[in-house]
Structure 1
Amino acid sequence: MDGRPANSDTGKSGVIVVVVGPSGAGKDTLMAEAARHFADRDDVVFARRTITRDPASGGEDHDGVSEDEFAALEKAGRFAVSWNAHGLSYGIPKDTLDAVEDGRLVIANGSRSALAHFHSAYPAMLVINVIASRDVLAARLEARGRECREDILRRLERGSLAVDGDYSVVTIDNSGSLSEAAQTLIDTLERRLFRRV
């Protein structure tokens, strides 16, 4: 690979790849594997989210801010996309818009509920929907120790793994081997770099 922007020879803008999926599906782990794979490429950018959560709480590497700080950043126009979910606020840096305009492939950890906002902000968007079987999701969530299995199963029964909306979507099942699911994500991103997906 030559490290050129994904669309440098066409003059077209790049694309935002929004990775979504339910809690326990393994989005963070798969994205971390993909980030390692593409670490030496300047045409692939992994967006760093701003979240109203302490970075020491675990999960993805992010910029943790207070609710007041988040509101100030939002008011100042520092986010390309922002949304609220599960009692937290999330923001995608505004500079990702420039990266897409420059022809880069930008990968962002998103939310199904925020896809309309992403679609409005970026000229081209691909959605990666990471899923897992309900048994696997329940086991992973139970291992976190935040809810009992019965509550988890009830919540999972009420939820859907589908993506609603007229978007280009690639679904990755992360119920089994992490290495296989990570390779599927990497292959999907590689194909998008060469405009084959």
Structure 2
Amino acid sequence: MTVGRLILVVGPSGAGKDSVIGYARQHMAQQNVVFGRRIVTRPADATETPDTMDLAQFEQDERAGLFLTSWRAHDLAYALPLSLAEDVAGGKQVVVNVSRRVIPELRKRFPCCVVVVDADEQLRRDRIASRGREAPAALEARLQRRIPTDFHADAIIRNEGSLAEAGEALMHLIGAPDHD
């Protein structure tokens, strides 16, 4: 039986984590890979399509233990659905975009591969600005936020070239076979 694991994709705002994950999702048809969707207390937009929920329902579900893990960042609440634990237990590779803060907790509970997606600061600034979600002060706050470094990264992907390059690198880490 194949051993499942969480592939935790982390990195600073604007690094292109969701784009890199989206590329891999689009190009992988394997049955043993699940691309988990986060639950976020913000409506979906063109850059990310999470499952959304209002804060009151989120907090109720959180208290009821309905999430695999949850965290707060950028005045929003985020979580992963509990069903992802079943996918890992069933031998699947589960790819998720998470906060670095939850890495220690998840490493204690599951086999994990931590992948950092990063990019040059100016490129990240341009990407965040193009989303149109933050005022200039909030954008700068995202860029200046202290990033926890007390975790071991299994791989680093620099997302500064083509999306295909970064996406293929993630697919390699997931264990994708050659594809079209």
Relative to structure 1, is the Cα distance of residues 46 and 158 closer, same or farther in structure 2, using a 3 angstrom cutoff?
Answer: closer
User: Which residue of structure 2 aligns with residue 177 of structure 1?
Assistant: 162
Aligned with 1:90: secondary structure? strand
- Correspondence 1:33 to 2:23: yes
Aligned with 2:91: secondary structure? coil
User: Which residue of structure 2 aligns with residue 3 of structure 1?
Assistant: none
User: Runs of at least 4 residues of structure 1 off by over 6 A?
Assistant: none
RCO (CA 8 Å, sep 6+): is it higher in 1 or 2? 2
* TM-score, normalised with respect to structure 2: 0.86
Ranges in structure 2 where 5+ consecutive residues have no aligned partner: none
Q: In structure 1, how many angstroms separate the alpha carbons of the residues matched to 2:171 and 2:125?
A: 26
Q: In structure 2, how many angstroms separate the alpha carbons of the residues matched to 1:16 and 1:63?
A: 19
Q: Do 1:81 and 1:121's aligned partners in 2 also have CA atoms closer than 8 Å?
A: no
Relative to structure 1, is the Cα distance of residues 104 and 170 closer, same or farther in structure 2, using a 3 angstrom cutoff?
Answer: same
Cα shift readout 1:104-160 (whole Å, capped 9, x = no counterpart): 1011110112212222332x1111100001121122223334343x87567635645
Deviation at 1:186, TM superposition (A): 1.1
Q: In structure 2, how many angstroms separate the alpha carbons of the residues matched to 1:156 and 1:75?
A: 31
- Correspondence 1:19 to 2:13: no
Q: CA RMSD in A?
A: 2.3
Q: Percent identity?
A: 33
Ranges in structure 1 where 5+ consecutive residues have no aligned partner: 1-7
Q: Do 2:23 and 2:163's aligned partners in 1 also have CA atoms closer than 8 Å?
A: no
Residue 164 of structure 1 aligns to which amino acid in structure 2? D
- Correspondence 1:156 to 2:146: no
Relative to structure 1, is the Cα distance of residues 121 and 142 closer, same or farther in structure 2, using a 3 angstrom cutoff?
Answer: same
Residue 186 of structure 1 aligns to which amino acid in structure 2? M
Equivalenced residue count is 176
Relative to structure 1, is the Cα distance of residues 190 and 65 closer, same or farther in structure 2, using a 3 angstrom cutoff?
Answer: same
1:40-79 matched pairs, under 5 angstroms: 40-55=29-44, 57-79=45-67
